Amino acid sequence: MNPAIILVEEKKLIGKSMRMSLEEDFSQKLWKSFMPHRHSIPDRVDDLLYNVKVFDQPFDPEQFNASTTFVKWAAVEVSQHEDEEAADMETYLFRGGLYAMFFHHGPASGFNRTLQYIFEEWLPSSSYELDDREHFERLTEDYHPNDPEAVEEVWVPIRSFVSRTNRLKEC
- Region 105-126: mean pLDDT is 93
Q: CB of 133 within 8 A of CB of 95?
A: yes
CATH 3.40.50.150 given to domain 4-170: no
* Predicted local confidence at residue 34, as pLDDT: 96
Give pLDDT tens digits for 4-19: 999 999 999 999 999 9
Give pLDDT tens digits for 4-58: 999 999 999 999 999 999 899 999 999 999 999 999 898 999 999 999 999 988 8
pTM over 0.85: yes
Range 87-90 contact pairs with CB under 8 angstroms and sequence separation of 24 or more? 87/37, 87/40, 87/41, 88/16, 89/14, 89/15, 89/16, 89/37, 89/41, 90/14, 90/15, 90/16, 90/17
Give pLDDT tens digits for 67-84: 889 999 999 999 987 755
Enumerate the domain spans of the chain.
4-170
* Predicted local confidence at residue 125, as pLDDT: 94
Q: Give start and end residues of each alpha helix (H) in the chain.
A: 27-34, 111-116, 123-125, 161-170
- Region 145-155: mean pLDDT is 93
